[in-house]
Structure formats: structure tokens, C-alpha cells
Amino acid sequence: MGTPEHRRALAWIRRDLRLKDHRVFQRASEIAHEFVPVFIFDSTILGKLSSDDRRVTFIFDCIEELKDGLKQLGSALIVRFGDPTILVPQLAKELGADVVICSQDFERSAIARDRKVQELLKAQGCRFETGADHVIFPGKSILNKEGQPYRVFTPYSNAWLKLMDEHPEAISEVTWDSSRLVPLDKLRSHLGQTPTLESMGFQPQTLWLKAGEKAAQDRLQKFLPKILDYKKDRDSFAVDGTSGLSVHLRFGTISIRQCVRTARERKGEGPFTWLKELIWRDFYSMLLDRFPHLETGCFKPECDQIVWPGPEEHFQAWCRGETGYPVVDAAMRYFNATGFMHNRLRMVVAMFLTKTLLVDWKKGEAYFAKHLLDFDLASNNGGWQWSASTGCDAQPYFRIFNPTSQAEKFDPDGVFIRSQVAELGTAAYPKPIVDHSVQRLKAIALFQALRPAK
Ligand SMILES: Cc1cc2nc3c(=O)[nH]c(=O)nc-3n(C[C@H](O)[C@H](O)[C@H](O)COP(=O)(O)OP(=O)(O)OC[C@H]3O[C@@H](n4cnc5c(N)ncnc54)[C@H](O)[C@@H]3O)c2cc1C
């Protein structure tokens, strides 16, 4: 390792709320003599959330854990609340940083924010650097023979696996030198008070899982004995057969590299199927990066013609879990209570909203975005467009899940459904608000009427 080119770095953490396998810390400790970790509660993002948003509690708890961890290493985490486009340049100046490092974000609003930060930093003589951490292979790394992004998952996944074989270092654990952290004594005057949840306008929420890096590692350990049966159990929503790591992956309390290593170190169909799910995550992130129109419209432009006829009261009944279809209602009630939903149930309720209630997928997408603890724009949009058949490599429009047979197949004893719909089988339970067999034909007709996009 040569002499670091920078005097002091500011390591701006965002979706990487951990200490282990941390690419931004590694880069900072490599290119600067010393570095300061910084986290900003972004007032632009938080300003759009309701005061009972669970994600803010999750992040807050992670930050508390990180503060302790960095204190034990003899340093500190600088925490602020406000607009990062103002605060990052301000902090860089205040702390004498000549470089700011953070992990790359692929959402349009984040890209615009980072561009602005970069310009402002440049004007004050400070460099801005981003690197991939949230995914294994970012947007442009995997292209087909024509140099274009893949539009079908299986060839993408094959190319991903091939690239992984050629570059196993892409998932090597990243270590960093904690002696490069600026010592606590030099930071005291900059620390200030960490904003409280209340001071930022939020109430602490009870979460279905523990926040933080330690909790993520515990969850992974708990999943390891189940990974061999993952292929068999992953679709059963009555069985706890999946990792439950999506929230941790979303906020980077665990690194995606560690998850991929875990899958690749194990033989068998279970670990390989789990690896494929992690590749879906990269796939959707790549799609959002390469096809930014996804954020506001359908991947297949002709599908933007669809005028979804489902009425507002049906959408509201879906949100409340009062459609009269037990599996849908159980899933939505559990979701409303926790902010989490099993993957198979996400597909069932998304397809039910679009193909049975004939409501625009964007309304469901927005409802999920508001309440999902693991909300990730790329995966959520990908999941919704897959279910609505408007997306890239989506479910064919005529292959519509029957909610009753999905329940029979994946919750045969009704364990999950009864746990959420106590009034099932009584007069208090709502009658089905529509007839699925009639509605599915209307959904098919909506797609058959589409004209090729101009
Ligand atoms: C309509 C819909 C919306 C969704 N919205 C989100 C979202 O906002 N955030 C999110 O992380 N996932 C989303 N998913 C994907 C998936 O449902 C969740 O990742 C999964 O249920 C999380 O549970 P787990 O951690 O136990 O997953 P596991 O089965 O243990 O899978 C491991 C990890 O792989 C990734 N993964 C698994 N399935 C998918 C998938 N289909 N697409 C992309 N990544 C996947 C996740 O990071 C997950 O934690 C959505 C799926 C659908 C159908």
C-alpha cells in the first residue's frame, strides 16, 4: 500500500450501516491518512414520511449501534439532521476533508443529490468519490453480446455467474484499517448532539426484527441450518424458510458480498436457489439504472395505455385486508401490522390487486413503498411490474394466480391465514368484493386490447 494521496477523508455512510466488510471505510483508510465517518438523517427524504414510519426507528437504532462500535475503536460517528447537499460540503470544510467517499446509489433522486454535492465540493477543492457496495455487479458491468443490458433474467443470471467465476475477488471480504479513524479527542468539538427521533418529528416504533449489524449477523446464522431446504420451503408462507435479511440488505447492516459468499460456499440446490434470489436483486438494480423510465412508467411502453378500471373502494379494501379473499386479507393485515410480507404473498397480493381488482400497479407499488421496512425502489418496482405483467421478463399476462389455490398450495392447513384473520368462517368476515373468475377475463382483455407502442 502506497502513501495515501489525501490528508483527511469524510466517509459518508448511507446504505452501509455496518462496520464489517465495509467498502467505503476500506477506501477511506486506503486513500487518506485519516478519516471521519459521517451519517446524515436526510430531511428531504424524512420530510415525506409519516411520523410513525418504522424505517426511521430502524435506521436510528443502527446509528446508535454504530456510534458505540466506533467509540470502542477510539473514534466517533458524526451525526446530523438536515439537507446533505448543504451539510456534506459544510462538514467537509469544518473537518478539513479533501475527499468525500460514499457508496453509489442508483435512484434518480439520489443521483441528482450526489451530483449536486459533488459540484459544491469541487468548488471548495474537495474530491467526491463513489463506489459500488450495495450490489455485486452494478448497472453497466453485465451486457449482452450487442453491448446492451439484458432484458431477460436467465441469460443475465448466467452472465452474472460467469463473471463471478472470473472475478471471485468481487465478493472477497473487505477489511479496513481502523487506526486511520480520526481519534475521538480530535472530534469532540464537532460531535454535537445526535438528533433524537422526536426532534426529527418521529415516534419510536416497535419493529418485527432487531436493527443493526449484530442482529443481521444473528439472523444469517439462524438461517444457515435452513439454507439447504430453501428451495423446498421458500414459497410456503406458513413455514419460516427464508432468511428475513431483506431489511438488513436494504440498509447495509449486512454486506451483499457476505451473503453471496455464504451461498457460494455451500453446495446443493438450496444455497444455489438463494444465490439466484440475490442475483434478482442485482438484476432489478441494473434495470432501474439502465431503464430509468421504470420509476414512473411501465417497462413495456405499450402497457402505459392501460386504463385500469378498478374502483378506489376496492383499492382501499385491499389496503385494509377486507377483500373477502382470506389469503389476500391475511397478507395485507400482517403487512400493515409489521411492514413485512413473504415473497410469495407479495406476488399473490400484487397480482390480485392488478389482475383481480384491476387497480393500477402504481397504486400498490406506492402503498408498499410507504409501508415496507425493506422498501427498495428497484426491487419493489421490479416485483410490481413482474406481477402486473408490465415489466421486464414479467409473468405472462394470461398466467394469473388464483388466490384460493395459492393458499391451498402454500398454506395447506391455513396456519398463516387463521393467525391473521380471526373472524374467518364467521358472519363478521367480508364476502368477496369481486368474483375472481370473472375479473381475470377482464384483465386478459385489457392486455389483448393493447396496440404496439409508437
Ligand atoms: C410486489 C413485490 C414487491 C417487492 N418489494 C421489495 C422491496 O421493496 N425490497 C426488497 O428487498 N424486496 C422486495 N421484493 C422481493 C422479495 O419479496 C423480498 O426481497 C423477500 O420477500 C424478502 O424476504 P427474505 O429476506 O426472507 O428473502 P430471501 O428469500 O431470504 O432472499 C434473500 C434476499 O434476496 C433478495 N431477494 C429475494 N427475492 C427477491 C426478488 N424477487 N427480487 C429482488 N430481490 C430479491 C432480497 O434482498 C432477500 O433478502 C418484492 C417482491 C414483490 C413480488
In whole numbers, what is the pLDDT of the chain averaged over residues?
A: 96
Q: Note whether residue 187 is domain-resident.
A: no
Task: Give me the mean pLDDT over the 413-441 stretch.
Answer: 96
CB 244 within 8 A of CB 217: no
Ligand 1 atom nearest to 342, measured from its CA: 21
- Is the domain of 335 the same as that of 429? yes
- Is the domain of 9 the same as that of 27? yes
Q: Per-residue pLDDT tens for 72-110?
A: 999 999 999 999 999 999 999 999 999 999 999 988 999
- Is the domain of 256 the same as that of 322? no
| Ranges of H-type helices in 132-208 | 153-166, 184-191
Ligand 1 atom nearest to 223, measured from its CA: 30
∠ CA 201-374-58, nearest 5°, is 40
Q: What is the best residue among 262, 379, 385, 401 to mutate for testing ligand 1's pocket, by most ligand atoms within 8 Å of CB?
A: 379
Last residue of a domain, one of 134, 163, 196: 134
- State how far the alpha carbon of 116 is from the alpha carbons of 101, 120, 218, in Å: 14, 6, 38
Report whether pLDDT(13) > 60.
yes
**Widest Cα–Cα separation across the chain:** 75
Can you give the residue range of the structural domain that contains 95? 1-134
- Is the domain of 281 the same as that of 406? no
Q: Per-residue pLDDT tens for 219-236?
A: 999 999 999 999 999 999
- Is the domain of 17 the same as that of 128? yes
- Is the domain of 276 the same as that of 340? no
Give the model's pLDDT for residue 1: 54
Report whether pLDDT(437) > 60.
yes
The rounded Å distance from CA 318 to ligand 1 centre is 21
Ligand 1 contact via 284 beta carbon (within 6 Å): yes
- Is the domain of 302 the same as that of 218? no
Cell numbers found for residue 368: 408498499
Ligand 1 contact via 363 beta carbon (within 6 Å): no
Q: Which residue has the higher pLDDT, 451 or 223?
A: 223
Question: What CATH code is carried by the domain that includes residue 126?
Answer: 3.40.50.620
Last residue of a domain, one of 290, 312, 337: 290
Task: Give me the mean pLDDT over the 347-353 stretch.
Answer: 98
Task: Give me the mean pLDDT over the 146-162 stretch.
Answer: 97
The rounded Å distance from CA 300 to ligand 1 centre is 22
Q: Which residue has the higher pLDDT, 356 or 392?
A: 356
- State how many domains the chain has: 3
- Is the domain of 1 the same as that of 120? yes
Ligand 1 atom nearest to 384, measured from its CA: 1
Q: Per-residue pLDDT tens for 306-326?
A: 999 999 999 999 999 999 999
The rounded Å distance from CA 246 to ligand 1 centre is 6
Q: Per-residue pLDDT tens for 106-138?
A: 889 999 999 999 999 999 999 999 999 999 999
- Is the domain of 420 the same as that of 302? yes
pTM (2 d.p.)? 0.97
Our answer to whether residue 280 is catalytic in this structure is: yes
Cell numbers found for residue 327: 389469503
Give the model's pLDDT for residue 2: 64
- Is the domain of 140 the same as that of 251? yes
Beta carbons within 8 Å of 118's beta carbon, 6+ residues apart: 128
- Is the domain of 60 the same as that of 110? yes
Nearest residue CA, atom 37 of ligand 1? 277
Q: Per-residue pLDDT tens for 259-299?
A: 999 999 999 999 999 999 999 999 999 999 999 999 999 99
Our answer to whether residue 318 is catalytic in this structure is: no
Q: Note whether residue 367 is domain-resident.
A: yes
Q: Note whether residue 407 is domain-resident.
A: yes
Q: What is the dihedral of CA 316, 321, 324, 325, to 10 degrees?
A: 120
Question: What CATH code is carried by the domain that includes residue 255?
Answer: 1.25.40.80
Q: Note whether residue 302 is domain-resident.
A: yes
Neighbours of 284 (CB within 10 A): 25
Task: Give me the mean pLDDT over the 420-447 stretch.
Answer: 96
Question: What CATH code is carried by the domain that includes residue 385?
Answer: 1.10.579.10
Q: Note whether residue 184 is domain-resident.
A: no
DSSP 392: T
Task: Give me the mean pLDDT over the 29-40 stretch.
Answer: 97
Last residue of a domain, one of 70, 105, 134: 134
149 DSSP β-pair partners: 143
Q: Note whether residue 59 is domain-resident.
A: yes
Ligand 1 contact via 157 beta carbon (within 6 Å): no
- Is the domain of 116 the same as that of 139? no
Task: Give me the mean pLDDT over the 351-363 stretch.
Answer: 98
